[in-house]
Structure 1
Amino acid sequence: MEAFGSNTTCPKQALLSYVNNNVIGGEALFRGPFGQRRVIYCDYTASGRPLRCIENYISEYVYSMYANTHTTTTVTSKQTTQFRHEARELIRSCVNATEDDAVIFTGSGSTGAIHKLLNVMELHGEKAARTMVLVGPFEHHSNILPWRESGARVVRIQQTANGLVDLADLESKLQTYCQKYDLILGCFSAASNVTGIITDTKPVAALLHHYGALSFWDYATAAPYLDIDMNPEDCRPDWDCSKDAVFISTHKFVGGVGTPGLLIAKKCLFVNKVPHGAGGGTVAYVSRDMYHYLRDIEAREEGGTPAIVESIRAGLAFQIKHAVGVDHIEEREEQLARYAFEKWQSNENLLILGNKEVSRLPIFSFMIRHQETGKLLHHNFVSVLLNDLFGIQARGGCACAGPYAHDLLGISEDSAVKFYELLREDRRNMCNEEPAEAVRPGFVRINLPYFATEETIDYVTSAIDMVATHGWKLLPQYRFDLKSGAWTHRVGVGRKGPGLSSLYDINYDHGFMEIDSDTEDQCLGQTRLEHYLQEARVLFDQAVEDNLVLDALQDPEVQLSEPYQDFLWFVQPREAAVCLHDAWSQTLQQALKSGYVFVIEDGCSEVDSEVVIDRYGDTMVTPLDQEDAATVPHATLELSHHGYGESFTADFEDVAVVPGDEVDTSDPFTYHGDMEMYTGTVSSAFDFTKPGHGVSYGGLDGEFEPGEKPRSRHPSLCRAFSNESGYRSDEEFTYAGTV
């Protein structure tokens, strides 16, 4: 990939660098379970971030002369009205709208724009019943549900084998329905918010118009990056490629935070005699008994005090996009998509959704496969891990595009019904079970911003590649909630540093705003990103040694009732912990001489009302023909603290294993251990599985010195490995030793 900013003498490259440097929060820091991290924002597909240059302009020029609109008698209202008018005209110019097109600020995004259009078209009742709505294969819920709820019939157009809108299927349905319905609407996404796959709007619009249908386009995902042309002039002479309506979520633009939605539509669609949202600003005159609405569509459809500053900000966000240049943005977007695919192509665990060969934005929805179990890593775990370990802001779920997500994930309607039965909010009333939100299918989504530096792009793609290969190794450090689907680190950030900021940190006790917060300066992110990658490599390499693996092995196994067992599709922390020890035991077995056994002991003790899990660090490699095994060293390594409180009682466990089927496990295998904290004689029995799977839950009962708290059975980790094959220990064997 050509180095970003390598040619800063080019005005466009310089402008991209300027945009990147102006993103507010670009150097923000936070402290998570792995220490301090810089925020790397890769969630522009959901919402953009503010630009300092735009906010500075608003602060200096807009706020200083701010007033309400709807009058021109004061300099402040005149200036504010002019700013908002100019913002509308900037947008009109950027989308090639004509005097036949209305530009309406409405709602908070495309959803509000669609509802606005439904109402001004008066699409309800009998009119809706005589309307057919053809929606594309990629549609967001906001471009499906409003049409369904209107009473119109909604039919979905299929995708081709390449993952594009199937024009043959579209034409077939147009031919079928054009004689049966009074009105046909075609509603398509210009680009998928899941895969970034781009739809060529011109042939779709031309085909719709050929059969008398209207051409509506959801640009929520595409608008910040692609050209929006309401009235293209470069089509074939016999094609009408114009757009009858476009829906835009300007808040997804860089610099567009908090901006309203945009409806840009042909004025002939506004058939409503009463404005949608009638009120102040929509009327020409009102008396006691009489009222008359304005004829100006753009004025009458923005009733009440509009989102004044937000609308001005929307115009400024469009202005930035126009200054960078659509051609330059599209070229950069294509370059980023190609770079990422080449970077990830050899990683078999990384499953990227959607066709990689078609034109698409650098929006990537992916899943991560775990080879040992054949399951997937939960998308929420992956998103949390990208955040905690790398600072990367990703998003897990279905991206509010359920039908398309079901296609991509291969989920049948029968399976979808079962998923819903597990997720439904009234599940407790239905079958006395809590909803299991964690089983909701989904994926992780990120996007690569066109203005990001080469260092950032390389960092993000490297981090995802690393998580796809090694991310499962940190699963035991997390716990998940089956009901909510939330994943949290077992330690969290309480002992590591500050948490999130809060509005309740603010007080005015001394006559001015003060912030009572223990958060550190969050805008000093000078750490090189490569340092985070190096730290992650170390954490992955040493994952098996982390004390939190002990906790994960003691997690209860989560199971679903009949007939839903197969719907627990993701790797649980406990499973990952076992896999970690499997891999470790294989390494140990390869290193051991035949006839030797490797014993590792873990125990727990109670210190100041907290439980301390101890590992006895010295390796004990013992010949099998030796009657007594080695002595446990007195020194202990503290692994973690768990604040269970006064009522908790702890115990110590240790174990040795006799490998080999030929050994009579009914005979005692004697193991001697020394510990200063225990006295007395202990005898206990343990069950074992194959080496590498050896998690033993038992305990000891003993006599203790006066003053010692009695220690009862409590599960802790016992492990034993050998290089012998075919080891089977379905039977009990006797552990006897003096402590």
Structure 2
Amino acid sequence: MFRIPETLEEYFQPFRSHVIGMNQEFDSPFGQQKIIYADWTASGRLYQPIEQKISEVFGPFMANTHTESNITSLMMTGLYKQSKRIIKEHVNADQHDVVILDGFGMTSVVNKLQRILGLRVPEIWRNRFQLPERERPIIFLTHMEHHSNQTTWLETLGEVVIIKPDDDGRVDLSHLEHLLTVYKEHRVKIGSFTACSNVTGIQTPYHQLAKLMHLHGGLCFVDFAASAPYVEINMHPEDPLEKLDAIFFSPHKFLGGPGTSGVLVFDSRIYTNKVPDHPGGGTVLWTNPWGEHQYFDEIEMREDGGTPGILQSIRTALCLNLKTKMGINQILKREKEQLSLLFSLLEKIPEVKILAGNIKDRIGIVSFYIENIHYNMIVRLLNDRYGIQVRGGCSCAGTYGHYLLEIDKATSKQITEKINHGDMSTKPGWVRFSVHPIMTNEEIIIFVQAIREIIENIEEWKRDYVYDPASNDYFYIHHLREDMSPFFRFS
């Protein structure tokens, strides 16, 4: 008999039961440990019903696209087209928007977008390519960007300008408005903003940022890599000035998503190319022996060179449907519960310093450090003694780290000089714990208790490890490199 779940934790239990590896154990230096996965911001996990659907329902018809004259290709072509329609519907794309899948995540598609817009010049030619100052594109970024939405723009023809944070550490809308007046003479102005920090889980007011960009004749792109698995994505809200000209995200971060490609959706009206980014099979209407050829007019066909990521696109659609089935409201409510529990417990430990801890309104990401204990020592001990999977480092957000840790330019230079000489020992960082609605309250409590025990026992426990400044990591002293060869046998 069907019973209505009494709690959100109970509501998500059926979804939890289908996660592959939920009860997986491994041998650690201190015995058998059961994996408690808390690195969802880095990657989602495989989901058995999706794997079964791909292998048993779609898999028997696996073939290439580019023809519809046989049943297998007809089926795959139809599934590929339908999966892209599902992606468009999920982000509220309109008739002008096109979807492109490429590579393995957001990094691939933001690079592709930059090439499509003509903003990338090969390094060997860059010194010979000079633009008049007013013709140089201006790229506005927040202080919270992932490296993929910062370094990629630094390698374009544009000038990158960082919007300063306000006094609370959020994006300062008034500063962007000021910058837009400073650079008003520049013809091309692009704002490429994270929707949510992968370090703190703090969301940006990206629709308001879009409105400012449009009021000043600019474009607005949004990186949903950290938040796409959990939030509504709306490219076309009621106010047309708040529309998003392009979005990109990494479906591999979704439950069921590993093995997908990056997703790019953009307004076709910003596309002016006659030649595709990747010419090849599937992009060309005809060729002849005399060097003549004609590419397809449809952007999605023209920019989908070679064999497309058929299964990647299908898997993405299945992940989006799973997200819809779980329910965005339920996801956000459950994460709010989890964060409330996590904050209430961590804030009772004086040694724990939560980054941007003054802001509780966030998605399920909490990063912290403990003075006098290296972040990767904490990560290693959580793994070896408790089976807890978290991530240490700067989370590919070094610029944001400077603001969060209040690192000035002189200190930064000292650190980077050591890094450049192969010594990572002073590289700043933190421990990142990310929740997912399928996680239990007990797992959060186990994690916080583990942090308490690490603090209490660190002087004794750290003697079991040796630090390697070149890799910035710790290794168990009795076997400095784990022998994983049996696991890596593919036969």
Contact 1:12 1:324 in 2 (8 A): no
Q: Find the partner of 2:438 among 451, 454, 460.
A: 451
Query: Which residue does the alignment assign to 1:351?
Result: 353
Cα deviation for residue 506 of structure 1 reads 4.8
Q: Could you tell me whether the CA contact under 8 Å between 2:222 and 2:247 is conserved in 1?
A: yes
Per the alignment, residue 275 of structure 1 pairs with: 276
Misfit runs of 4+, over 6 Å = 10-14
1:401–1:506 CA distance, 2 compared to 1 (3 A) = closer
Whole-angstrom CA distance in 2 between matches of 1:358 and 1:454: 18
Judging changes above 3 Å, is the alpha-carbon distance between structure 1 residues 270 and 489 closer, same or farther for their aligned structure 2 residues? same
Q: What is the CA-CA distance between 1:229 and the residue it aligns to?
A: 0.4
Q: Residue 14 of structure 1: CA displacement?
A: 6.3
Match of 1:414 in 2: 410
Per the alignment, residue 500 of structure 1 pairs with 484
Return closer, same or farther for 1:473/1:200 CA change in 2, 3 Å cut-off.
Answer: farther
In 2, Cα distance between equivalents of 1:105 and 1:443: 32
Shift of 1:397: 0.9
- My pick for the range that moved more, 9-18 or 279-288, is 9-18
Distance between the aligned counterparts of 2:5 and 2:375, measured in 1? Answer: 42
Does structure 1 residue 402 correspond to structure 2 residue 398? yes
What do residues 523-553 of structure 1 show as CA deviations (whole Å, max 9, x unaligned)?
xxxxxxxxxxxxxxxxxxxxxxxxxxxxxxx
**Contact 2:338–2:441 (CA under 8 A) maintained in structure 1:** no
Q: 1:213 aligns to what?
A: 218
Q: Is the 8 A contact 1:377 1:472 kept in 2?
A: no
CA distance in 1, matches of 2:40, 2:389: 10
Aligned-partner residue type, residue 484 of structure 2: L
| Distance (Å, rounded) in 2 between the aligned partners of 1:264 and 1:469 | 49
Residue by residue, what CA displacement relative to the aligned partner does 1:226-257 show, whole Å, maximum 9, x if unpaired?
A: 11100012x4xxx6111001011111111000
| 1:434-461: CA deviation from partner (whole Å, max 9, x where unpaired) | x212322111112011111222232223
CA pair 199-223 structure 1, distance change in 2 beyond 3 A = same
The alignment status of 1:200 with 2:205, answered yes or no, reads: yes
Counterpart AA for 1:466: E
Offset at residue 468 of structure 1 (A) = 4.0
Q: CA deviation at 1:15?
A: 5.8
**What is the TM-score when the length of structure 2 is the normalising length?**
0.93
Establish whether residue 466 from structure 1 lines up as the match of residue 453 from structure 2: yes
For CA contacts below 8 A with separation 6 or more, give which structure has more relative contact order: 2
Shift of 1:503: 6.2
Unaligned runs of 5+ in 1: 1-6, 370-375, 428-434, 508-739
Q: TM-score, normalised by structure 1?
A: 0.62
How far, CA to CA, are the matches of 2:7 and 2:68 in structure 1?
Answer: 39
Q: 2:194 is matched with which residue: 177, 181, 189?
A: 189
SS in 1 for 2:241: coil
C-alpha deviation, 1:466, in angstroms: 3.4
CA–CA separation in structure 2 for the residues paired with 1:92 and 1:147: 25
Correspondence for 1:549: none
Give the Cα separation in 2 of the matches to 1:379 and 1:504. 28
Q: Partner of 2:107: helix, strand, or coil?
A: helix
Give the aligned partner of residue 124 of structure 2.
Answer: none
Pick which of 197-206 and 254-263 moved more.
Answer: 197-206
Q: 2: CA distance between counterparts of 1:114 and 1:137?
A: 18
Helix, strand or coil: the match of 2:392?
Answer: strand
Q: Of the candidates 312, 321, 329, which is equivalent to residue 310 of structure 1?
A: 312
170, 173, 185: which one aligns with 1:167: 173
Q: How does 1:100-179 map to 2 (within 5 A)?
A: 100-124=96-120, 126=131, 130-179=136-185
DSSP-derived class of the 1:364 partner: strand
Which residues in structure 2 correspond to 1:9-408 (within 5 Å)? 9=5, 16-124=12-120, 126=131, 130-179=136-185, 181-233=186-238, 235=239, 240-289=241-290, 290-369=292-371, 376-408=372-404
Query: Following the alignment from structure 2 to structure 1, what is the Cα–Cα distance between the partners of residues 54 and 459?
Result: 46
How far off is 1:413 after superposition? 1.5
Higher helix share: 2
User: Aligned to 2:359, what secondary structure does the other structure show?
Assistant: coil
**For this pair of structures, how many residues does the alignment match?**
478
Taking the aligned partners of 2:301 and 2:192, their CA distance within structure 1 comes to 26
Contact in 1 for aligned 2:224/2:249 (Cα 8 Å) = yes
Residue 9 of structure 1 and its aligned partner are, at CA, apart by 3.5
Q: Contact conserved, 2:64 with 2:76, CA < 8 A, in 1?
A: yes
Q: Give the conservation status (yes or no) of the 8 Å contact 2:46–2:257.
A: yes
Deviation at 1:499, TM superposition (A): 4.8
Tell me, yes or no, if the aligned pair for 2:224 and 2:247 is still in contact at 8 Å: yes
User: Cα–Cα, structure 1 residues 192 and 293, in superposed 2: closer, same or farther, change >3 Å?
Assistant: same
Please show how residues 583-602 of structure 1 align to structure 2 within 5 Å.
Answer: none
Q: Output the CA distance in 2 between the equivalents of 1:136 and 1:50.
A: 32
User: What is the one-letter code of the residue matched to 1:304?
Assistant: G
Residues 658-716 of structure 1: CA deviation (Å, up to 9, x unaligned): xxxxxxxxxxxxxxxxxxxxxxxxxxxxxxxxxxxxxxxxxxxxxxxxxxxxxxxxxxx
Higher radius of gyration, 1 or 2: 1
Q: Pairwise CA RMSD of aligned residues?
A: 2.0
CA distance in 1, matches of 2:194, 2:226: 8
Deviations 1:546-565 (A, max 9, x none): xxxxxxxxxxxxxxxxxxxx
Does the residue aligned with 1:284 lie in a helix, a strand or coil?
strand
Query: Which amino acid is 2:204 matched to?
Result: T
Is residue 255–residue 317 contact of structure 1 (8 Å, CA) maintained in 2? yes
Pair 66,173 (structure 1): closer, same or farther in 2 beyond 3 Å: same
Offset of residue 351 of structure 1: 0.8
CA offset digits 1:139-188 (Å, max 9, x no partner): 01111112111121001001112121101111110111122x11111111
Work out the percentage of aligned pairs sharing the same amino acid: 36
CA drift of 1:492 comes to 4.0
Q: Distance in 1 between matches of 2:8 and 2:295?
A: 46
| Alignment correspondent of 1:610 | none
Structure 2 gaps, min length 5: 121-128
Q: Which amino acid in the other structure matches residue 249 of structure 2?
A: I
| Structure-2 separation of matches of 1:20 and 1:70 | 38
Instruction: State the secondary structure of the residue aligned to 2:144.
Output: coil
Aligned to 2:126: none
